[in-house]
Structure 1
Amino acid sequence: MVDASTDQNGVATVDWVRHSTPPQAMLVMLARTPSDDLNRFLSPMVYELTNNGAQVRFRRNDSNAWAANQPTKFYWLALWK
């Protein structure tokens, strides 16, 4: 689980150190928080996969804008070949 805030572009990062290649696939899901009302307005998406980590970008469903500077918690699962 990642507990982070998004940057000004709505991006939170995930880092991995045991792999030197990007995964074949990655799944992201929001975690339950005390502010679930706010989380229902966010949609996470895997934005970029690299050798060192991933960028997860969050969009607000109520305004269709990127969720800039938003605290969030999410689970991730990456699969390597």
Structure 2
Amino acid sequence: MFIGSTSVNGAVLIKWGRHSTAPFAVFVTYAPNNNDSVTNNFTPLIWSVGDSDFQVRLRDDRSYAWGGAQPVRLYWLATWKR
């Protein structure tokens, strides 16, 4: 789970805790208790996936611009191949 704020570009960088390679797949969604204006107006999108981290950006569903600085709580799940 990630709890924090996005950058002015609507981005969040989340580091892998125990892995040094990129995962096979990543899923991200809002956690409960988000600010209603964030969950109702922004969509979290996986922007990039790397060996040590991944980046999520919020897209404003009204204007399709990046979300800017927003408080956010995200659940994420990544799976690695063996």
TM-score (norm 2): 0.89
What do you get for the CA RMSD once the two structures are aligned? 1.3
The corresponding residue for 2:49 is: 49
Aligned amino acid, residue 17 of structure 2: V
Matches within 5 A, 1:1-81: 1-33=1-33, 35-81=35-81
Distance 2:59 2:22 in 1: 23
Identity among equivalent positions (%) equals 38
Task: Provide closer, same or farther for how the CA distance between residues 49 and 60 of structure 1 changes in structure 2, counting only shifts above 3 A.
Answer: same
- Stretches of structure 2 lacking an aligned partner (at least 5 in a row): none
Distance 1:40 1:63 in 2: 13
- Stretches of structure 1 lacking an aligned partner (at least 5 in a row): none
Runs of 4+ in 1 over 6 A off after TM superposition: none
Distance 1:42 1:53 in 2: 22
| Count of paired positions | 81
- C-alpha contact 2:38 2:70 (8 A) present in aligned 1: no
Distance 1:17 1:31 in 2: 19
